[in-house]
A = this chain, B = another copy of it.
């Protein structure tokens, strides 16, 4: 590193951990893309060549009818999707643990201008029988009319709807004239696990809108809203602008997605973080005191830990306590998780587990 590029700014406290895949930085190939396009002038607000190229890539992956709207973050992607699918007197069925319902600070209702109907979930997944029971009172003006369902894929609990599950839920939704939204901040992981193309998991099944995540998969910022149903396209540019989500230097989001798709980088990123999660689970499952929960289909492992362990563990490796009452914790891997991180963490856990047993004896 020569003088010129010597960092005059640095992350000071860069403790590694399992906090979230947005605690990681930017994948080098994605970062690099930002430098490559940083020359000359380009039209703003998505009318430049790089944005067109990215549009084209998404069309290749999701089908020629796909319209991509880049937005800045995941809340915005979901809100834009809701706004396109719903009138103000419509409801959206979602799981009780969905990000939409519990982590958007009311944005779906206040900005999305619709009502959410949270339904019970199993391992984070909506169940067809619950969905069916929720479609009631059609045409009754007193009742916010159900208009869409929102599936998180992978779910907030790190599980993945199987292809069969998706098919049965989505074909039912279509038969009921409901729109289908996929909240896919880590959608590539599901595609990798299921070994299906993006298109097979969305357009071909009848999905109408996808919130396709970038930031949690190695981008610096930026998500793509994929509008697969042509009836929903017309309003999109105006709604996005009004929501404060029209990027002026749009090319800097577009370039990141181009990098993300180039040489299947998305697979590398997804498969690595998922392999790390498997590795982590393997090393800690069965340790006395550690209760691993849910299937580990994506890049998160959920564990119940004794309350007493949590403070000291978190001093070494950051992670979130998912449920303050039960001490369920979320351990999330990322594109940059190293096997050493896993080893150190599992060793620390082993050590706590052993101390615990000795105390008990």
Interfacial residues, chain A to chain B (CB-CB below 8 A): 5, 7-17, 19-20, 22-26, 28, 31-45, 48-50, 53, 71-76, 79, 83, 87-91, 102-107, 109-111, 113-116, 118, 133, 136-137, 141-145, 215-216, 220-221, 235, 237-249, 251-252, 255, 258-259, 262, 318, 324-325, 336
A244 CB, nearest partner CB in chain B, Å: 3
B89 and A238 within 8 A (CB): yes
Given that A9-B258, A17-B41 are known contacts, is A91 also in contact with B106, CB under 8 Å in the complex? yes
Given that A32-B5, A242-B105 are known contacts, is A26 also in contact with B38, CB under 8 Å in the complex? yes
A7 CB, nearest partner CB in chain B, Å: 4
A73 and B25 within 8 A (CB): no
Contacts of A35 in B (CB 8 A): 5, 31
B79 and A49 within 8 A (CB): no
A255 and B215 within 8 A (CB): no
A28 CB, nearest partner CB in chain B, Å: 8
Which residue of the partner chain B has the closest CB to A144?
B106
Which residue of the partner chain B has the closest CB to A234?
B87
Given that A11-B37, A16-B40, A220-B34 are known contacts, is A105 also in contact with B22, CB under 8 Å in the complex? no
Contacts of A26 in B (CB 8 A): 34, 38, 249, 252
B22 and A40 within 8 A (CB): no
Contacts of A137 in B (CB 8 A): 324
Question: What CA separation (Å) do A255 and B104 show in the bound complex?
Answer: 26
B262 and A106 within 8 A (CB): no
Contacts of A50 in B (CB 8 A): 9, 11
Could you list 11 further interchain pairs (A-B, Cβ under 8 angstroms) beyond the known A8-B262, A83-B88, A88-B242?
A5-B32, A11-B39, A11-B42, A11-B50, A15-B41, A22-B248, A31-B34, A41-B336, A103-B142, A142-B241, A221-B252
Partner of A242, one of B36, B40, B102, B111: B111
Question: What CA separation (Å) do A110 and B89 show in the bound complex?
Answer: 8
Contacts of A48 in B (CB 8 A): 11, 13
Which residue of the partner chain B has the closest CB to A258?
B9
Contacts of A74 in B (CB 8 A): 248
Question: What CA separation (Å) do A322 and B40 show in the bound complex?
Answer: 23
A106 CB, nearest partner CB in chain B, Å: 4
Contacts of A252 in B (CB 8 A): 26, 220-221
Which residue of the partner chain B has the closest CB to A30?
B38
